[in-house]
Structure 1
Amino acid sequence: MALNVWRISWLLAKSRNPSLDTILDSLNCSDANSVSADKPWLKNFLSERKMLERTIAMEECDSYFTMISSQALHQVTEEETNFPLAFSHLIHENVGILEMFLSTHFRPTDTHCIVIDQKSTVEVQKATKAVVNCYQRRFPRNPMFIVDNNISVYNGHISILQAELDCLEELEKRNKEWKMFLNLAGNDLPLVSMTKIRETLSNHKDQNNFDLGFTPTNSHQKIRLEIVDNGEGHRSLREYPDTEKAEPPCKLFIMKGYRNVALTRDFATFLLKSHMVKVFLEWISTTSHPAEHFYATMGTIQEADGPEDGTKLITQRFDMQKSIASQICFREHLWRPSSHCMLRKSGCNVDLQKSPLMNNMRQEYIGNNWFAGYCLRKSKWSNCAGSSRERKCLITLQDSPEIRESGCLFANEFHVDLDPGAIMCQVKYVKAQMAESDAQSKDLNPM
């Protein structure tokens, strides 16, 4: 252990700006104590200050991609051309995680929209703009951009959903080619290569994928949230009972899910263009955690032309019993036995009156897991190796084996301050996957 600690510390001390590959090569991820000893160096490398040094200070990004090796420079494949993706990233802190995400998963055929929380520090805002600027300079034809919406984001507030929909609207305008949209948090990291992510999504290209559940009390709709000014530029959320809340528009049955989704382009267009969606968005905007209800509820909607021009017939349809067996699970969560992961299959035709919701809302145990198919995101809710926030574990290196074994494509709650080693070792793990895949591809297709 001592030799490895000396090695990486010496390398980092010797070079003021060590490359990403230098650090990864020097990192012994199989030795948690060694990685922990290098925490100050790794935290410094992922800091906003260091990001600014290797972006703004490096001759207008000319040397950036030498310092930060990127999958972006690899040749574009036929699969990437045929199935481009669109991403939104909501950034409040930990810009180093975004930088590592782009290093391992940015591809020129995909489109990325960045939202910067206006409450974030000046350093966070500068570092985000700097790394995006380097990618824009290197790939001028790729529509990677920061959306200019000047929005302050609060957990549980409509501002999160509004930021994502602003991104979705800009993505729809700027690029007509992408096939699916994914909304990512700033502390998400992929667990597998971009090739695997694209393959999984393309195999379900006609399906919207999100959690779908039932909230019998609709408790979130009985809470009203609003932003209040605490003086001296500080704002916070105020929560109080909403005793006068009207019934949902169109007599919608409110569903419950997570805010993380993978949406087809057609469904994304429906969310942006439908008048009914706009009415529902206005209704849900004052409630608690609206993003957890917006996508799930809209996912049950079937909209058809009415008897007169300009009118629409709105029907909610559910097929929850069948959805587990063959669909994607966007987030695996095992924090209590009664949890469920239900996903709607696009085009289902089981009417609520013919198949009562309560009869279909049951969990199905399959093999050694509560899910079948693919899991796109892993959140850890119990047995945290480190600390937790809002009941979720903040990922440490000790958690890495479990989150990788989950089979999910993404995991969330990585944090630079808590465990930068978990971030860097995940980057090293994915880069090793990509190198192995490239080697196998060359063996199958020799020059």
Structure 2
Amino acid sequence: MAGFSSSSHYVESQKQFREASPLNLRQQVICAIMAGLGFSVFITIHIFFTLVTLDSNAAPNIPSTDTLFQEHEPALKYDILSKANEKWPELIHQDQNISNNAKKFKEFGERFFRRTSKKFQQSSVDCSALYAGDARSVRRAVGISKVLASLEKVKHAKSERTVKLKWLESIPRPPKLVEREVKTWPTWEFQRLTNLWYVRATRNCERFIQTRGYITSPLTLEEEEFPIAFSLIVYKDIEMVERLLRSVYRPQNRYCIHVDLKADPEFLMAVKAVARCFRDNVRMSSERVAVKWGTFSVLEPELICMRDLLAVDSGQAPGLAWGWTKGGAGRERPKWKYFLTLTGQEFPLKTNFELVKILKAFNGANNQEGTIETAEKERWEVPPPHGIRPVKGSIHTIINRATVDFIINSPVAKDFLAWLWDTKFPDETLFASINYNPQLGIPGTYNGSDMERVTQFARFKKWYIEPWVRVCPSRLVVRDICILSIGDLRDLAESPNLFANKFFLDQDRIVVGCLEEKLFNDTRDEFLEKKTFSTEHYANQDFVINQVRTPL
């Protein structure tokens, strides 16, 4: 019995041990974890107070940047300065900032051009052959564009066009072979991007900017330090407007977009959606007007945008992000240097790098066509104030910041604008008259003796004025201006002008696509230093040599 009792006692004790042991093991694990956490916290606090003590002791002994360069060997300068900069951002040296920016621009450019290498390449036509004027390639491309135009007309019966096209002669039907080929292409290849498409696509701005191929870096220090201000006066065709914006966009530039008060509400909504993706350097105009051809309302959007663009640089425009006037490392953001006017049916012929080079070659001079010989006196009834001689020109202009400031803020300019209100075609009078009255003393205006021979570089245009000029490959004319098409590509490529006017996507999508391809290739090659650009032709112009200089 004793043996049995001891045996049963042993079994009972083993049972109790098995029931209790899991709990004891869990407790041991928890205790070990708590101990480990406690030790980690202790070590972290100890290290923190040690670093604080070291920093507080070291701070008074940190020398200035100049002292660092004097007291240490050249091989150690970079390391010492970088350590000091980690603790005191105000010690950042300007040369180092420039070097860092150049490195960032290079890294962005390498990624961008690698990622978008095929995005702007036209797959349906050979643009290089079109630029070379190859007759066979041109005939095929013209046939394709006509098929696309006919499909556009069928699919979008409610055309956005508000001006009447003049058909010079019947347009031949494209070959059946080309027509069948186009209809077999994927629908997305020449997809029409509508107002609704842009509203939806811009819900994710980061993705929109990346997939559409926007260049969000200055690419070069020279471009970063030379911002340009643009006005975009638009009223229809969101796809053409967005492609224009994309082609001239850089983060250092400023953009003001004015949408006609009569424009389709859906178009306005789409333009606003695109502008919102670029924060402060792409802004809608503070006011909108209903533009009517031949009246002061044509000029008014430009005046609104000039005023808005000056306000943006001064940090006074509503809705600006805090610190907008500051650039990298707290440096003052460079103010824009020149103001360029654009409309929604235009496209650049030069890269941003080339625009900067050309404008710097102007050396502060304005470029504006002007004539007195053909200035119609019946456009006004009374002479202008302040002895200003009225000159006929164009609303397409390239003017410096000082001229914009004069037009917006000078009492003399305000009186002249009041006089212009009651004249015909004031948009053709303002910029030319301001530029060709040197007695006003505006830096950059013309003080030479032969305004009639001044070359204008603002626009490439083909005028169809019978019977003198009869060259219009598209056979489409609006107000005596030829609608540009594939047949104009060679002239466009060889033109020294900065922009071209006019393009209609619903009539010829290929010409704009080939211009985009060339701009992309030129931008890439300039970034990779495979292409150079000479400004000698621009720097030697009469209006550059004979300009009103800044008063000393």
Scaled by the length of structure 1, the TM-score of the pair is 0.69
CA distance in 2, matches of 1:65, 1:81: 20
Deviation, 1:269, is 0.8
Tell me which amino acid in the other structure corresponds to 1:63. R
CA distance in 1, matches of 2:385, 2:531: 56
Determine which of 258, 275, 278 is the counterpart of 2:394.
258
Determine which of 180, 194, 209 is the counterpart of 1:47.
194
Q: Give the 3 Å change call, closer, same or farther, for CA 75–279 of structure 1 in structure 2.
A: closer
Tell me which amino acid in the other structure corresponds to 1:48. N
Deviation, 1:169, is 0.6
Deviation, 1:250, is 2.4
CA distance in 1, matches of 2:412, 2:402: 16
Tell me which amino acid in the other structure corresponds to 2:457. C
1:129 matched to 2:276: no
Query: Any unmatched runs of 5+ in structure 2?
Result: 1-115, 131-136, 153-186, 315-334, 465-470, 533-552
Tell me which amino acid in the other structure corresponds to 1:50. W
Question: Which whole-Å deviations, capped at 9, do the CAs of 1:294-313 have from their partners, x for residues lacking one?
Answer: 1111113346xxxxxxxxxx
Does the 8 Å contact 2:458/2:499 carry over to 1?
A: yes
Does the 8 Å contact 1:112/1:145 carry over to 2?
A: yes
Tell me which amino acid in the other structure corresponds to 2:225. N
Q: Give the 3 Å change call, closer, same or farther, for CA 362–411 of structure 1 in structure 2.
A: closer
2:234 is aligned to 91
1:216-295 to 2 correspondence within 5 Å? 218-219=376-377, 221-222=379-380, 245-295=381-431
CA distance in 2, matches of 1:425, 1:122: 31
Does the 8 Å contact 1:180/1:205 carry over to 2?
A: no
Does the 8 Å contact 2:288/2:301 carry over to 1?
A: no
Q: Give the 3 Å change call, closer, same or farther, for CA 213–431 of structure 1 in structure 2.
A: same
Deviation, 1:220, is 5.1
Q: Give the 3 Å change call, closer, same or farther, for CA 23–77 of structure 1 in structure 2.
A: closer
1:414 is aligned to 503
CA distance in 1, matches of 2:119, 2:219: 26
Partner-residue secondary structure (3-state), 2:306: helix
Does the 8 Å contact 1:21/1:68 carry over to 2?
A: no
Query: Any unmatched runs of 5+ in structure 1?
Result: 1-18, 137-141, 223-244, 304-313, 317-343, 351-359, 364-370
2:179 is aligned to none
Determine which of 213, 216, 233 is the counterpart of 1:69.
213
Q: Give the 3 Å change call, closer, same or farther, for CA 95–215 of structure 1 in structure 2.
A: farther
1:112 matched to 2:294: no
Partner-residue secondary structure (3-state), 1:189: strand
1:205 matched to 2:363: yes
Answer with 248-257 or 29-38: which moved more: 29-38
Partner-residue secondary structure (3-state), 2:288: coil
1:192 is aligned to 350
1:155 is aligned to 293
CA distance in 2, matches of 1:203, 1:116: 33
Q: Give the 3 Å change call, closer, same or farther, for CA 77–436 of structure 1 in structure 2.
A: closer
1:80 is aligned to 223
Deviation, 1:441, is 5.8
CA distance in 2, matches of 1:148, 1:124: 17
Question: Which whole-Å deviations, capped at 9, do the CAs of 1:340-388 have from their partners, x for residues lacking one?
Answer: xxxx9636376xxxxxxxxx5655xxxxxxx76x733201113111201
Q: Give the 3 Å change call, closer, same or farther, for CA 252–94 of structure 1 in structure 2.
A: same
Deviation, 1:253, is 1.9
Query: What fraction of aligned residue pairs are identical, expressed as a percent?
Result: 24
Deviation, 1:49, is 3.5
Deviation, 1:75, is 5.0
Q: Give the 3 Å change call, closer, same or farther, for CA 51–36 of structure 1 in structure 2.
A: farther
Q: Give the 3 Å change call, closer, same or farther, for CA 195–55 of structure 1 in structure 2.
A: same
Question: Which whole-Å deviations, capped at 9, do the CAs of 1:252-273 have from their partners, x for residues lacking one?
Answer: 3210111111111111111111
Q: Give the 3 Å change call, closer, same or farther, for CA 68–298 of structure 1 in structure 2.
A: same
Scaled by the length of structure 2, the TM-score of the pair is 0.57
Partner-residue secondary structure (3-state), 1:26: coil
Q: Which has the higher strand share?
A: 1
CA distance in 1, matches of 2:124, 2:526: 21
Q: Give the 3 Å change call, closer, same or farther, for CA 432–44 of structure 1 in structure 2.
A: same
CA distance in 2, matches of 1:220, 1:155: 17
CA distance in 2, matches of 1:361, 1:153: 30
1:11 is aligned to none
Q: Which has the larger radius of gyration?
A: 2
1:382-393 to 2 correspondence within 5 Å? 382=464, 383-386=471-474, 387-393=476-482
Tell me which amino acid in the other structure corresponds to 2:308. E
Determine which of 426, 432, 440 is the counterpart of 2:521.
432
CA distance in 2, matches of 1:252, 1:128: 38
Does the 8 Å contact 1:143/1:175 carry over to 2?
A: no
CA distance in 2, matches of 1:349, 1:171: 30
Count of matched residue positions in the alignment of Structure 1 and Structure 2: 340
Tell me which amino acid in the other structure corresponds to 2:516. V
Q: Which has the higher helix share?
A: 2
Answer with 62-71 or 114-123: which moved more: 62-71
Answer with 46-55 or 408-417: which moved more: 46-55
Question: Which whole-Å deviations, capped at 9, do the CAs of 1:8-64 have from their partners, x for residues lacking one?
Answer: xxxxxxxxxxx99557442324441345445546764343333233224xxx32321
Question: Which whole-Å deviations, capped at 9, do the CAs of 1:159-199 have from their partners, x for residues lacking one?
Answer: 12111011001101111511111111111100121111111
Partner-residue secondary structure (3-state), 1:272: helix
Q: Give the 3 Å change call, closer, same or farther, for CA 116–21 of structure 1 in structure 2.
A: farther
2:447 is aligned to 348
Does the 8 Å contact 1:188/1:410 carry over to 2?
A: yes
CA distance in 2, matches of 1:252, 1:160: 21
Does the 8 Å contact 2:252/2:281 carry over to 1?
A: no
Deviation, 1:111, is 0.4
Tell me which amino acid in the other structure corresponds to 2:513. M
1:181 is aligned to 339
CA distance in 2, matches of 1:183, 1:422: 22
Q: Give the 3 Å change call, closer, same or farther, for CA 92–21 of structure 1 in structure 2.
A: farther
Q: Give the 3 Å change call, closer, same or farther, for CA 442–259 of structure 1 in structure 2.
A: closer
CA distance in 1, matches of 2:236, 2:378: 27
Q: Give the 3 Å change call, closer, same or farther, for CA 217–416 of structure 1 in structure 2.
A: closer
CA distance in 2, matches of 1:133, 1:315: 39
